[in-house]
């Protein structure tokens, strides 16, 4: 099954995963495949297990980092805007900053 990490506290070693089935699964650090680290919004695969304490995610494997998912969506929206915003910014701050500092020096 796949799901999304709702939250995971690395210090405490546990958190919760929202499964694609709409249920929440407890995840303990010992259930995460060695070499994987999970954070909020990461896409993971796992084996759902019903225990005496409730639903748990076992054999958790990181599929995609949440930051990669978010940046992939934003990059396609920001690409057209970047060239337009870079040109004015590179010219204006250089010419404005020295002018604004000169009047402040005599006041001291």
Q: What is the pLDDT of residue 75?
A: 43
pTM score, two decimals?
0.63
Task: Classify residue 59: in a domain, yes or no.
Answer: yes
Q: Is the dihedral of CA 47, 15, 61, 24 positive or negative?
A: positive
CA 21 to CA 99: how far, in whole Å? 60
Q: What percent of the chain has pLDDT over 70?
A: 67
Q: Is 34 helix (H, G, I), strand (E, B) or coil?
A: coil
Q: What is the pLDDT of residue 95?
A: 46
Task: Give the pLDDT confidence of 73-84 residue by residue, as tens digits.
Answer: 544 444 444 444
Task: Classify residue 103: in a domain, yes or no.
Answer: no
Parent domain of 16: 2-65
Calculated CA dihedral for residues 9, 14, 18, 21, nearest 10 degrees: 170
pLDDT tens, the chain, 108 aa long: 999 999 999 999 999 999 999 999 999 999 999 888 999 999 999 999 999 999 999 999 999 898 887 777 544 444 444 444 444 444 444 544 445 445 555 555
Q: What angle do CA 51, 6, 38 make, to 5 degrees?
A: 90
Identify any residues that bridge with 4 across adjacent strands, giving them in sequence order: 18, 43
Task: Classify residue 93: in a domain, yes or no.
Answer: no
CATH number of the domain bearing residue 25 = 2.40.50.140
């Amino acid at each position: 099954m796949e799901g999304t990490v709702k939250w995971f506290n690395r210090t405490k070693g546990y958190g919760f995963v929202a499964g694609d089935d709409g249920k929440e699964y407890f995840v303990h650090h010992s259930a995460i495949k060695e070499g994987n680290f999970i954070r909020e919004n990461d896409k993971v695969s796992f084996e759902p297990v019903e225990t005496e304490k409730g639903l748990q995610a076992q054999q958790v494997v990181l599929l995609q980092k949440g930051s990669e998912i978010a940046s992939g969506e934003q990059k396609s929206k920001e690409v057209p805007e970047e060239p337009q915003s870079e040109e004015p910014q590179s010219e204006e701050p250089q010419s404005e900053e020295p002018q604004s500092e000169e009047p402040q020096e005599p006041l001291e």
